[in-house]
Amino acid sequence: MEIIAHPREMQEQARRWREEGRRIAFVPTMGYFHQGHLSLMEYAREIGDRLVVSLFVNPTQFGPTEDLDRYPRDLERDTRLAEEVGVDVLFTPAAEQMYPPGYQTYVTVNGLSQGLCGASRPGHFRGVATVVLKLFNLVMPHVAVFGEKDYQQLVVIKRMVSDLNLPVEVVGCPIVREEDGLAMSSRNTYLNPEERWSARCLYRSLQAAQQLVADGKKTREEILSTVQQIISQTPHTRIDYVALVDPETLQEVAAVQGAARLALAVWVGHTRLIDNTLLVET
Ligand code: AMP
Query: How close is the Cα of 275 to the center of ligand 1, in Å?
Result: 11
Model pTM?
0.98
Can you tell me which atom of ligand 1 is nearest the CA of 30?
2
The dotted CATH code for 186-280 is 3.30.1300.10
Give me the pLDDT at residue 223, please.
98
Give me the pLDDT at residue 213, please.
98
pLDDT digits (tens, 9 = 90+) for 175-200: 999 999 999 999 999 999 999 999 99
Whether CATH 3.40.50.620 fits 2-173: yes
Give 70-77 contacts, CB < 8 A, sequence gap 24+: 71/30, 71/32, 71/186, 72/32, 72/186, 72/187, 72/189, 73/31, 73/32, 74/31, 74/32, 75/31, 77/33
Question: Would the CB of 124 count as within 6 Å of ligand 1?
Answer: no
With a pLDDT cut of 70, the percent of the chain lying above it is 100
Residue whose CA is at the smallest distance from ligand 1 atom 10: 146
Pocket mutation for ligand 1, best pick of 33, 34, 40 (most atoms within 8 Å of C-beta): 40
Q: Count how many Cα atoms sit within 13 Å of the Cα of residue 63 in the half-sphere of its side chain.
A: 11
pLDDT value at 164 more than 90? yes
Mean pLDDT of the chain: 98
Give me the pLDDT at residue 76, please.
98
8 A C-beta contact, residue 25 and residue 89: no
Query: What would the mean pLDDT of 157-161 be, rounded to a whole number?
Result: 98
With a pLDDT cut of 90, the percent of the chain lying above it is 100
Residue whose CA is at the smallest distance from ligand 1 atom 14: 147
Question: Would the CB of 146 count as within 6 Å of ligand 1?
Answer: yes
- The set of catalytic residues is 37
Q: What angle do CA 61, 64, 65 make, to 5 degrees?
A: 110
pLDDT digits (tens, 9 = 90+) for 53-74: 999 999 999 999 999 999 999 9
Query: What would the mean pLDDT of 219-232 be, rounded to a whole number?
Result: 98
Domain ranges of the chain: 2-173, 186-280
pLDDT digits (tens, 9 = 90+) for 20-56: 999 999 999 999 999 999 999 999 999 999 999 999 9
How many C-beta neighbours within 10 Å does residue 280 have?
12
User: Are 2-173 and 186-280 equal in CATH topology?
Assistant: no
Question: Would the CB of 213 count as within 6 Å of ligand 1?
Answer: no
For 48, residues 6+ apart whose C-beta sits below 8 A from its C-beta are 22, 23, 24, 25, 26, 141, 142, 143
Cα–Cα distance measured from residue 193 to residue 206, given in angstroms and rounded to the nearest whole number: 22
Give me the pLDDT at residue 282, please.
86
Cα–Cα distance measured from residue 66 to residue 95, given in angstroms and rounded to the nearest whole number: 17
pLDDT digits (tens, 9 = 90+) for 109-156: 999 999 999 999 999 999 999 999 999 999 999 999 999 999 999 999
pLDDT band at 229 (very low <50, low <70, confident <90, very high): very high
